[in-house]
Structures are given as structure tokens and as C-alpha cells.
Structure 1
Amino acid sequence: MVRSIEIKSDGDVFHEIFRDRPHHISTMSPTYIQGVDLHDGDWGKVGSVIFWNYTHGKLNSAIIFLRDAILLQLVKLELRNVIEGDLMELYKSFVLTVHVDTVEKNNLVTWTLEYEKKNESVPDPESLMEFCLQVTKDIETHHLN
């Protein structure tokens, strides 16, 4: 599942927040993100384990393993593999990717959710995608004010 949203703020700043300062997102989007803590490793480093408390219908949690971080000249990509938490009750695997393209003054944030359902009755994570887009809008609003 892939969705994109255009932002006016600097794409590099947006990417840096998710890579190096995700623990600041709770002040930018407190309705959705209640806290982000480092479980193991270092902020922004491949192999780090990050614990997220978030509200998606109810208070949820996820432990996310920073699987990869690729920085190219105009394209930035992060792969985060959910290894534990509420999502794993529904999905065998779940990977979130946030991708920021910065071309001239246009910045596009693209979210990709890759998942394998535990069974056919599990819904596609449409509402979780909307959640990701709303957090993106909240970060945007924080940086434009």
C-alpha cells in the first residue's frame, strides 16, 4: 500500500526528524504519538530498536527495528520493520517505509506499508495509512508555524 503527500517544509528536515529525532514527534503530533523511546542502539543508526506508543483507535505500541537507511542525493529512504507490538496481532510481517523526494521546491513524502495478514479476515491497514499521513501533516504544521 503506497500513498504520497506533498509538504511545503524542507524534505531534509522531515527525513532527519524520522531518522534522528523520532522522539520529538510526540510534541509535533501529540494526538497520534504519545512517546518514542530508544530500546537499543543509537538514534538514526541501522540496527537500532525503537519503542513507539501511539493512538490508532486505542493506545497501541510497536517495537520497530531500523532495518535500513539509504541516503541518495535527492532520494531518502528508511525501512522500519515492526518486530513486536499490537500490529503483530494481525500481521505476520509489517514493514513501514517513509521516502522523501526533494526536487527543487517540491517535497513529496511517500509512505509504503508492506504487510502479510495472519488470515483473510484481517483488514488492509487503510486506517493506519491515514494515520501516517495525518502524522505527516502534523509535522508539517509544526514546522510551518
Structure 2
Amino acid sequence: MASKIEVSVELKSDANKIWESIKESANFFPKALPHQYDSIEVLEGDGKSIGSVRLVKFKNGLSEISTTKEKIVDFDEETKTISYTVIDGSLVNYYNNFKASLSVSSINGESGSSVKWSAEFEKTSEQVPDPELIKGFAVKSFQDLDAFLLANGL
């Protein structure tokens, strides 16, 4: 049976800047967030459109999750939404299915933005915990991305 977790993070950076950074995450995240990402390698496609496959390598010691291979299954420029399914890597040891989605929106009347991240997942067994660690990693990534953009005047 599939379960779902979600979180919303308010950021100070403009929604368009956050969205552009997320779209270009294969190149941008390892440079902006080197303490979290070793690399993001585009294996198929352009790394941001439907059907693209990316191999994400996380810094050693963050958790037992060291790599994920993600396939983009939805991408909408207009609504600033992207979804991907994990097709290989460390996560498949814990979850039979793992699909994450995120959307970026402007905060009404402000220059800031909001990122909503959610994941639908099916555990390999009842002993596997909900992916709270992954949710926390996503929140920290968005907050650190915001801090990087602000500190560098981007």
C-alpha cells in the first residue's frame, strides 16, 4: 500500500530563481550545495525534461542513501512542477516504489517563494521507516539553495 509525505518550505528568493536552479540542478546543485551532493550526472535526455534519467551521488556520511537514479516523469514549466521516480540506487533497498514531486510558487504580495515537496512510496517491509530523513534532506536542500542564491546575489 502506498503512503505519502509532504512538506512546504517558504524561501526568501524569487520563485523564478528557485525554479531555474531546480531545473538546472544537474549542473547547479553540486556547485551550490557541495556539502550535500557529489554529483548529478545526466544519463539520458537533457536532465530536466520528461524521460530524462539522472544519477545523483550524495556526499558520503549523509545517510545510508548514497546514490539514486531518477527518471523524470512529469515536467511543467508553466506551473513550475517536476516529478521523478526512483528507478535504481540505494533507495530501492528500502522502497519498492518512490515518486517525488515538487512545485515552486510565488508568495502572494512578496518577493519570496514556496516550494512544496511530496513523495509517494511503498516500503519493502514494515520495518522500513517512513522517509522522514529524505524529507528533511529536501527541506535542508531548499533552505541551503535559498541561502546560496541570496549570498551570491543571484
Question: What is the aligned partner in structure 2 of residue 69 from structure 1?
Answer: 75
**In the TM superposition, what are the counterparts of 1:49-128 in structure 2 within 5 Å?**
49-55=53-59, 56-58=62-64, 60-72=66-78, 75-102=79-106, 103-105=108-110, 106-128=112-134
Question: How much has 1:42 moved relative to structure 2?
Answer: 1.1
Question: What is the aligned partner in structure 2 of residue 43 from structure 1?
Answer: 47
SS of the residue corresponding to residue 47 of structure 1 reads coil
Q: TM-score, normalised by structure 1?
A: 0.92
Q: TM-score, normalised by structure 2?
A: 0.87
Question: What is the aligned partner in structure 2 of residue 133 from structure 1?
Answer: 139
Task: Tell me which amino acid in the other structure corresponds to 2:92.
Answer: M
Task: Tell me which amino acid in the other structure corresponds to 1:42.
Answer: D
Q: 1:32 aligns with which of 31, 36, 42?
A: 36
RMSD: 1.4
Higher strand share: 1
Q: CA separation in 1, counterparts of 2:24 and 2:50? A: 11
Question: What is the aligned partner in structure 1 of residue 11 from structure 2?
Answer: 7
In the alignment, structure 2 segments of 5+ residues that lack a partner are: none
In the alignment, structure 1 segments of 5+ residues that lack a partner are: none
Aligned residue pairs, count = 143
Note if contact 2:40-2:54 (Cα within 8 Å) is conserved in structure 1: yes
Question: How much has 1:59 moved relative to structure 2?
Answer: 6.1
Q: CA separation in 2, counterparts of 1:140 and 1:26? A: 14
Question: How much has 1:143 moved relative to structure 2?
Answer: 0.4
Q: CA separation in 2, counterparts of 1:76 and 1:13? A: 11
Q: CA separation in 1, counterparts of 2:109 and 2:49? A: 28
SS of the residue corresponding to residue 144 of structure 1 reads helix
Q: Quick check: 80-89 or 98-107, which moved more?
A: 98-107
Identity %: 24
Task: Tell me which amino acid in the other structure corresponds to 1:16.
Answer: E
SS of the residue corresponding to residue 80 of structure 2 reads strand
SS of the residue corresponding to residue 122 of structure 1 reads coil
Q: CA separation in 2, counterparts of 1:62 and 1:31? A: 17
SS of the residue corresponding to residue 57 of structure 2 reads strand
Q: CA separation in 1, counterparts of 2:109 and 2:30? A: 29
Question: What is the aligned partner in structure 1 of residue 24 from structure 2?
Answer: 20
